[in-house]
């Protein structure tokens, strides 16, 4: 059994709008990484502290499949994709049961007060389970590493993730401000699940582990069929016929997911949180644009430059290019 400990520090310097945030620093030594996690923090809601131990001690099963991402990096898209693979491409079931029931967002309950019991939902889900988390590797369950449950990690280029994240957090009443302020908050790690780069680069470093499949939103856009085939291999399923693969690509398209149980279920979650926060001034659409390069007409040249030079520092330190990580 490995030991762990964590400390929590309220972020007094975080933007005053929205819910209180804290830094979670974890000390543990059970993960195949060079750097130890005591060296870095993760920003989460302060109320998550009540759930921290429950997540770390979450009983994991060998046939669990986890989807782990930074927010807005293609989680929902990958959940629907992986669910199809795991469920032998049962399109009828995919259409009839909301994705949030088929694949619970495990720690959602800890993000805001008044959320549904997502830990119970995850614990009680029938195996093989498909579980969603945005937590960095350091905050994920111990047993996930001990049992080597499979993890699918999806990365997305930082600029598109940023422009997707702001309207989302505004809808959730977790941020209010200008784009400039949002980018600054993002780079200062003042937002949920930040820091962004270590989240991705730790999984990049672990991409050759047997239980890790690393991909990107960009690769899914470029070659969804290739990703579907990889996933079949990763979870030990036969690659289906070309006809089924084509049907899957169609089912997983932005337009069809917008209308399906996947897009609608996520929209319902956001609308529920908006109601809890009495936030009526947002018309946020969860299925927003669904493209690569959305930052190009949503950020100024200066904003792009500052995100690029900020990113360069992390990429240089890790000795990789963004082309390698995202397969651009």
**Residues near ligand PPS (CB under 6 A):** 69, 71-77, 160, 164, 252-254, 257, 287-290, 294
Phi and psi at 35, nearest 5°, equal -80, 140
134 in catalytic set: yes
Instruction: Please state the closest distance from residue 154 (CB atom) to ligand PPS, in A.
Output: 7
Nearest to 116 by CA among 128, 98, 129, 95: 98
Instruction: Please state the closest distance from residue 16 (CB atom) to ligand PPS, in A.
Output: 23
Residues 12, 15, 19, 23: what is their CA dihedral angle, to the nearest 10 degrees? Answer: -50
Nearer to ligand PPS, 84 or 206 (CB): 84
Nearer to ligand PPS, 91 or 254 (CB): 254
Nearest to 165 by CA among 185, 151, 150: 185
CA distance 174 to 240: 42
Instruction: Please state the closest distance from residue 42 (CB atom) to ligand PPS, in A.
Output: 15
Nearer to ligand PPS, 73 or 248 (CB): 73
User: Angle at which helices 196-205 and 158-171 pack, to 10 degrees?
Assistant: 130
Task: Kindly name the residue from 134, 199, 251, 295 that is annotated as catalytic.
Answer: 134
Residue 159: half-sphere exposure toward Cβ, Cα within 13 Å: 23
Instruction: Please state the closest distance from residue 94 (CB atom) to ligand PPS, in A.
Output: 13
DSSP secondary structure code for residue 105 in this structure: B
Nearer to ligand PPS, 26 or 70 (CB): 70
DSSP secondary structure code for residue 14 in this structure: S
| Residues tagged active-site | 134
């Amino acid at each position: 059994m490995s030991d762990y400990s964590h400390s929590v520090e309220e972020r007094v310097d975080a933007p005053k709008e929205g819910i209180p945030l804290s830094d979670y620093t974890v000390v543990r030594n059970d993960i195949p990484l060079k750097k130890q996690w005591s060296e870095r923090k993760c920003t989460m809601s302060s109320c998550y502290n009540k759930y921290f131990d429950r997540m770390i001690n979450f009983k994991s099963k060998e046939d669990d499949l986890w989807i782990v991402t930074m927010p807005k990096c293609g989680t929902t898209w990958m959940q629907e994709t992986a669910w199809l693979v795991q469920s032998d491409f049962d399109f009828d079931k995919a259409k009839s049961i909301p994705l949030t029931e088929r694949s619970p967002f495990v720690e959602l309950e800890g993000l805001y007060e008044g959320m549904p019991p997502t830990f119970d939902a995850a614990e009680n889900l029938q195996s093989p389970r498909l579980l969603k988390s945005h937590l960095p590797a350091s905050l994920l369950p111990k047993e996930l590493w001990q049992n080597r449950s499979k993890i699918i990690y999806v990365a997305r280029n930082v600029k598109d993730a940023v422009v997707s994240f702001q309207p989302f957090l505004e809808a959730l009443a977790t941020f209010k401000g200008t784009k400039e302020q949002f980018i600054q908050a993002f780079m200062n790690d003042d937002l949920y699940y930040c820091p962004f780069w270590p989240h991705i680069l730790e999984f990049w470093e672990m991409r050759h582990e047997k239980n890790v499949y690393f991909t990107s939103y960009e690769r899914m856009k470029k070659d969804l069929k290739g990703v579907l085939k990889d996933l079949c291999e990763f979870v030990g399923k036969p690659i289906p016929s070309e006809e089924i693969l084509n049907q899957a690509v169609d089912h997983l398209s932005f337009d069809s997911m917008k209308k399906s149980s996947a897009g609608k279920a996520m929209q319902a979650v956001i609308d529920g949180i908006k109601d809890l926060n009495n936030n009526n001034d947002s018309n946020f659409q969860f299925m927003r644009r669904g493209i690569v390069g959305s930052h190009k007409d949503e950020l100024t040249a200066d904003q792009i430059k500052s995100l690029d030079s900020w990113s360069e520092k992390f990429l240089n330190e890790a000795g990789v290019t963004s082309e390698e990580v995202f397969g651009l």
